[in-house]
Structure 1
């Protein structure tokens, strides 16, 4: 099997890749930005150094040797000039030159405008994405202002924009709280449908040497 890594063209695909890997033990991370023209070279560098394109069998061998396994998440929209990247690593040796943080730290992982958070489902700890506290404060303030102006059309537009954001569990919970805030302030227009994020393909494959 040829080595490769997926390239996410959408935020939903990039964020879903993180949610899929954190429960598998990929809990250490570092991130950055690179010019799109250098993104393939960066992915190749990470494969050479950390084996980001390794197969499941190769990852088992690395684990047996005490080496960390690593995945690369790249948010690379079509025609973008800059690419956001994030490395996720398991416990193990080999990344001593990287400054890694833990996704479970008090200062939460924030990426692409969202923050990673735990939630409990039937006594099982799971992970989700949600808007930052700062963004939620701004959205509540915006809805309050529009309600004070009795601008139903503006509130409807704001709620529709909110509903179009990635429908992870944490985001949907916040979206419904914003809908409720609008209703409490007298909004009597239609409420948007809050979509669930479906099982998402992590992206087209980038071949690695």
Structure 2
């Protein structure tokens, strides 16, 4: 390496190794988190819609809510299915734009397998706890959100800090209102997620990182 004055400089062995490791880590993180910010924005919006829709049904369609107290389960399943499809589409396109090679395909498969495992756990754990019935259905969202938030935190710790922060924010937006605000908790959670959406948007605007 040469400086502006023409003098030659050389990296020390430990500096060279650190540079190689930093480059490898950056490339690996880019593969595993391709399109992640757009996906976070999308999920923040979807979860906001789900919370506010649940609150609207409970408030303005009380007969329906009383007759079908388990309605939040199917409601969330339908709304979040669009998020699953959108996540796969965004991630696939972002990955191909980054690198269409075999390494990117393998990274995509690993990320897909990770989130499918988290999704399966979110569905199986309530069943193992005996909640998939009319009496336990109200507790299912508490398990689902906990597992999904944990999935975001673990994935973010390994790959990108903002993803872990999103997981913590998503858990706080759900659990805090449900323990403090009773009947209006879904509305409070919805607005909390809306605030999280705004925070991510501001972060993207400030850093320019997608």
Q: What TM-score do the two structures reach when normalised by structure 2?
A: 0.26
Is the strand fraction higher in 1 or 2? Answer: 1
Larger Cα Rg: Structure 1 or Structure 2? 2
TM-score, length basis structure 1 = 0.26
Q: Which has the higher helix share?
A: 2
